[in-house]
Amino acid sequence: MLFDTHAHLNDDQYDDDLEEVITRAQSEGVTNMVVVGFDRKTIQRAMELAENYEFIFACVGWHPVDAIDMTEEDLRWIEELAAHPKVVAIGEMGLDYHWDKSPKDIQKEVFRKQIRLAKKVNLPIVIHNREATADIVEILKEEGAEEVGGIMHCFSGSPEVAKECVKMNFYISLGGPVTFKNAKRPKEVAAEVPLDKLLIETDCPYLAPHPYRGKRNEPSYVKLVAEQIAEIKGLTMEEVAEATTRNAKKLFAIK
């Protein structure tokens, strides 16, 4: 009973073997997945997957790297899609200061617009954060994001920041990096964040866990993330799987 809360099965890397990838996930006990769309092409494909598979849900939003490309028409489209029964969250949204395609002021504006939209449609938000923690926390507070809450996706910050986010009604989601031998911070976060505030994800095809690091990631590997968290917390993998699945279903309002 595993729930991969952040997958990009809508990526071109799965064009040749998507069915096999999904079958492998199911054989490893993955009962649900959320496929995240973050621009026109990937949103469309996320919706198709959600409509074609009962156990796949969609998250729709606009990625900060591409914030400069988002139009008001795109925002209206996301709002329309939010009414679809298989859309469970808005995102991924946030700030990315690693790449310089979209100026910071435009990223912030698009981020704020999506938080306001999520509050309007009453859906949780999925946060992408790269080298922008202070600004993200500030904007979440200013926009009252705790009203809808959400996920700090692929969290890479400190345990102190994680606790601050939990106070703002956010779950902390851990992926492949928690399994890396040199990943001190994710392991500390896994140890300190209460189990009822943790989620697991792959962010596939990126960030494959050990021993697949550097290769294409896929939802079946989310089991390795659960196993690592279980080891850190002194629990069984089944306990972590059950708790994180329960957390995800509660957040996404999935029966």
- Predicted local confidence at residue 220, as pLDDT: 98
- Predicted local confidence at residue 189, as pLDDT: 98
- Residue 239, number of CB atoms within 10 A of its CB: 15
Q: Which residues of 17-41 are buried (b: 16+ CB within 10 A; e: fewer)?
A: eeeebbeebeeebbebbbbbbbeee
What share of the chain has pLDDT > 90, as a percent?
Answer: 99
Q: Which helix (H) or strand (E) holds 6?
A: strand 2-7
Contact 62, 32 (CB under 8 A): no
- Predicted local confidence at residue 180, as pLDDT: 97
- Predicted local confidence at residue 120, as pLDDT: 98
Sign of CA dihedral 62, 64, 69, 70: positive
For the segment 85-118, what is each residue's pLDDT rounded down to a tens digit?
999 999 999 999 999 899 999 999 999 999 999 9
What's the pTM value of the predicted model, to 2 decimals?
A: 0.97
Q: For the chain, which residues score pLDDT lower than 70? A: none
By three-state DSSP, how is residue 66 classified? helix
- How does the average pLDDT of the chain come out, rounded? 98
- Predicted local confidence at residue 162, as pLDDT: 98
- Predicted local confidence at residue 196, as pLDDT: 98
- Predicted local confidence at residue 167, as pLDDT: 98
User: Up-side HSE of residue 222: CA atoms within 13 Å toward CB?
Assistant: 38
Per 3-state DSSP, what percentage of the chain is helix, strand, and coil (rounded to 5)? Answer: 50, 20, 30
74 CB burial (10 A radius; 0-12, 13-18, 19+): middle
- Predicted local confidence at residue 46, as pLDDT: 98
- Predicted local confidence at residue 76, as pLDDT: 98
- Predicted local confidence at residue 202, as pLDDT: 98
